[in-house]
Amino acid sequence: MHLVSQSALIALSFALADATTFESASQALQLDWDTITPSGDLVYHDCYDGLQCARLEVPLDWTNSTDTRTAVIAIAKLPAVVSDNDPSFGGSIFVNPGGPGASGVSFVLSDGHDLQQYVDKPGRRHYEIVSWDPRGIGRTTPSSDCFRSDAVSRSAWQLEARGNGGLDKGLDPIKYGLAMAKALSQRCKDSEHQWGDAMAFVNTPSVARDMVQMVDKIDELRKREGVSKAHDEPRLELKKRTEEDDVPRLQYIGFSYGTALGNYFASLYPGRVGRMVLDGVVNADDYANGPGWLTNLHDTDEILEEFWRGCHQAGPSTCALASDSDGSASEIKARFWSWVADLDDIPIPALSSTGTIVVITGDDIRKLVGSSLYDPIRTFKLLSTTLQQAMAGNTTGLVSNLVKLGHVPNLDTICSENNGTKPASILPESQSAVICGDGDDITDKDASWWYKYVQRQVSKSKLYGSYWANIRFSCSSWPFRPNLSFKGPFTTPKAFPSLAAGHPAAPLLFLSPRLDPVTPLNSARAMAANHPGAAVVIQESMGHCVIGTAPSDCTKAIVADYFESGTVPSEEIACKAQCGPWDDNCSGYSPAAVSISESTSWQFRGNPILFL
Ligand SMILES: *[C@@H]1O[C@H](CO)[C@@H](O)[C@H](O)[C@H]1NC(C)=O
Ligand SMILES: *[C@@H]1O[C@H](CO)[C@@H](O)[C@H](O)[C@H]1NC(C)=O
Ligand SMILES: *[C@@H]1O[C@H](CO)[C@@H](O)[C@H](O)[C@H]1NC(C)=O
Ligand SMILES: *[C@@H]1O[C@H](CO)[C@@H](O)[C@H](O)[C@H]1NC(C)=O
Ligand SMILES: *[C@@H]1O[C@H](CO)[C@@H](O)[C@H](O)[C@H]1NC(C)=O
């Protein structure tokens, strides 16, 4: 997760595997996607270590059959541990890691095995895990890249935005930021000459349509290969089906933005829903309508309160910010905010380990702490150490984490590896292209409107509101409008396990931590209420999303049962987590084989540069 800058582009974040780290550690497995010839039928090629990859050609414009332009979707699959015709083969589970803008291919590489273990029932059900780089993103072409692979120019842009400071500082940074956004918009339009307005076709309804295509193409491939549909429920085989019922259906887990994508899919193509798990739930109405992105931060500051409480309780041996002389958590909190206020007043200079100049402000601290709330188990102890050292005048760890999270562009790697020869992590423009295309057009808003918008965000979260406002601010001059648009209602008809055309095969299953910094529980409840029969499972943990941020056998069993039987709990239930951020027995928790190292750098399970 990480992201970036303050300006127009950016934002948020989500917490799954650090794809960048993974890939650099796996140079030997680097796949040259250009060697795969795109095709309209699905053709898999062996790739990486035990995966299969494909490049699927789809119409760029799903609404205009005379438009012959295409997008080529990069797909990666982790095969099931059994063969396709094994009776325990459960079919494909599609996953989306969020963002928007995160690469599904990287996600399969980094987290595929863990996700597979999460849903598989040994001896009973075994799934293949499939993901893809959505339109405009990663290895999918055309790419939403306003800088034409000129990473240095993009970083210069990000540094300038960083220097402009937080949008909550008044009208001046807003006015300057609006001009920067307008200039970027010009650059994006210029970059599109090659493709036409390709960035108008990357929004979520188009991606949902691509998912229908992928599901159909997988089904076709299986039929071509003569594999029986062994994964269908045996009882379904007995039922006489009409042609119409017998459509391939999606099995899906969406995280964060991926829950919005899932909700679009289910609402647009309810008859294509087989199973759908939505974890870390976005309020799709707020995402698609109005000023936008105003519901995310409902619980953010509450998690920060939990951080102080937990730190005080754990004491100085576990939480470096605590002191034996503290009478309560509020003393730790007061020290922190007073330090941040000092930094807001007088920024301090620092150098990164390689000499990059970094001027640290209170904004940096708010962003760093906000990022940490995504993944308390992996970061809280380290956060406390990093902050304590910085408050004592040692900014080494602070700067390295700011760089790692992308809050400071990493100039050291830009010219060497990130020069266009390698798929970049997440481009801010590719996030904006999706977010701005899905949301209402807000390109006519002036500085005073934005000032009020920023204030609204800050009123939701003192910690993260100013940063969060950048997400929609990136749309202030966004030049592309999609023709294929969907604004809701985000709802489905009743599910029919016996399969009926136009109806889901199972109700939707929503997952939420008790406290999530960017997709609060109340969004999960609001979204579930519009899907008949849907259930909300609360995990008694903190962080962004449930799967991957805290261990809970209870949640895991519900998810695995759901994929097998299609049943959800009959009412909202809560699952305990097995350990928390300050427990010793949690530090090894590593669903993605990413562990906190001894160093003060964080191994985020986050693809750099995500919002959700
Ligand atoms: C459909 O695509 C064709 C070919 O690119 C184009 O000439 C036509 O204007 C498009 N129609 C619409 C409604 O966009
Ligand atoms: C400053 O902090 C870093 C880790 O963040 C540590 O390695 C280093 O020893 C510290 N320097 C001093 C002078 O304490
Ligand atoms: C980009 O980086 C790669 C890998 O470090 C290097 O081989 C290549 O020469 C670089 N290209 C340019 C144009 O700098
Ligand atoms: C949307 O459709 C209109 C015609 O209905 C066309 O003129 C316009 O170019 C289309 N926009 C995009 C982005 O395709
Ligand atoms: C971890 O430690 C906590 C606190 O001591 C305890 O409540 C919890 O049950 C432990 N979890 C495991 C998996 O051992």
pLDDT at 403: 85
Ligand 3 centroid – CA 158 distance (Å): 22
Pairwise CA distance, residues 438 & 33, whole Å: 29
* Residue that is written with structure tokens 């930021």 in the block: 177
Atom index in ligand 5 nearest the CA of residue 551 equals 13
Is 448 a pocket residue for ligand 1 (Cβ < 6 Å)?
no
Instruction: Note the pLDDT tens digit of each residue in 506-535.
Output: 999 999 999 999 999 999 999 999 999 999
Q: What are phi and psi of 169, to 5 degrees?
A: -85, 5
To test ligand 5's pocket by mutation, which of 541, 585, 586 has the most ligand atoms within 8 angstroms of CB? 585
Q: Is the beta carbon of 66 within 6 A of some atom in ligand 1?
A: yes
Question: Where are the chain's structural domains?
Answer: 1-297+404-438+461-612, 300-403
Instruction: Determine which residue's CA is closest to atom 6 belonging to ligand 5.
Output: 579
Distance 61 CA to ligand 4 centre (A): 10
Closest CA to 277 of 302, 290, 258: 258
Ordered alpha helix ranges (H), 439-529: 447-460, 465-473, 521-528
Q: What is the pLDDT of residues 551-576, one digit of tens each?
A: 999 999 999 999 999 999 999 999 99
pLDDT score recorded for residue 407: 82
Give residue 419 CA to ligand 3 midpoint distance, Å.
6
* Mean pLDDT for the stretch of residues 310-331: 97
> Measured from the CB, is residue 353 less than 6 Å from ligand 2?
no
pLDDT-based confidence at 18, cuts 50/70/90?
A: very low
Confidence of residue 612 (pLDDT cuts 50, 70, 90): low
pLDDT of residue 405: 81
Question: Ligand 2: which residue has its CA nearest to atom 2?
Answer: 396
554 CA from centroid of ligand 5 (Å): 15
Average pLDDT (331-347) is: 98
Decide: 595 and 588 in contact? Cβ < 8 Å: yes
For residue 65, which ligand has an atom nearest its CA? 1
What is the atom index within ligand 3 of the atom nearest the CA of 415?
Answer: 14
Percent of the chain with pLDDT over 70: 85
- Give the dihedral of Cα atoms 292, 296, 302, 306; nearest 10 deg: -150
Least confident of 350-359, 471-480, 566-575: 350-359
Average pLDDT over residues 217-237: 69
| Better pLDDT: 327 or 15 | 327
> Nearest residue CA, atom 5 of ligand 1?
67
> pLDDT tens, 395-427?
999 999 998 888 887 776 666 555 444 544 678
Is the CB–ligand 1 distance for residue 63 below 6 Å?
no
Best mutation site among 150, 413, 417, 419 for ligand 3 pocket (most ligand atoms within 8 Å of CB): 419
**Whole-angstrom Cα distance, residue 84 to residue 229?**
9
Q: What is the pLDDT of residue 510?
A: 98
CA of 27 to the centre of ligand 4 (A): 42
Averaged over 193-197, what is the pLDDT?
Answer: 71
Which atom of ligand 1 sits closest to the CA of residue 69?
A: 5
188 C-alpha vs ligand 4 centroid, how far in Å?
18
**Across the strands, what pairs with 131?**
76
C-alpha 483 – ligand 4 centre gap (Å): 6
Q: Which ligand sits closest to the CA of 149?
A: 3
Instruction: For the chain, give the mean pLDDT.
Output: 87
Q: How far apart are CA 490 and CA 487, in angstroms?
A: 8
Contact 512, 536 (CB under 8 A): yes
Whether the CB of 583 sits within 6 Å of ligand 5: yes
| pLDDT tens digits, one per residue of 103-149 | 999 999 989 999 999 999 999 999 999 999 999 998 999 999 898 77
- pLDDT exceeds cutoff 60 at 2: no
Question: Is the CATH number of domain 1-297+404-438+461-612 3.40.630.10?
Answer: no
* Band (192; pLDDT cuts 50, 70, 90): confident
Residue 156 has pLDDT above 70, yes or no: yes
Position 595 pLDDT exceeds 70: no
Predicted pLDDT of residue 533: 98
Answer yes or no: is the C-beta of 67 below 6 A from any ligand 1 atom.
yes
Cα–ligand 5 centroid distance for 585 (angstroms): 6
Long-range contacts of the stretch 381-385 (C-beta < 8 A, 24+):
381/318, 381/319, 381/581, 381/582, 381/587, 381/596, 382/596, 382/600, 382/602, 383/307, 384/311, 384/319, 384/320, 384/321, 384/322, 385/320, 385/600
CA of 66 to the centre of ligand 1 (A): 6
Whose CA is closest to atom 3 on ligand 3?
Answer: 417
Q: What is the mean pLDDT of residues 575-593?
A: 77
Q: Three-state secondary structure along 41-102?
A: CCCCEEECCCEEEEEEEEECCCCCCCCCCEEEEEEEEECCCCCCCCCCEEEEEEEECCCCCC
Residue 150 Cα to ligand 3 midpoint, Å, equals: 12
pLDDT of residue 425: 64
- For residue 55, the cross-strand partners are 74
pLDDT at 240 over 80: no
Cα(384)–Cα(336) distance, integer angstroms: 10
pLDDT bracket for residue 14 (50, 70, 90): very low
Residue 43 has pLDDT above 90, yes or no: yes
Which of 556, 544, 550, 546 shows the shortest CA–CA distance to 606? 544
Q: Report which protein residue has its CA nearest ligand 4's atom 11.
A: 483
pLDDT at 83 over 50: yes
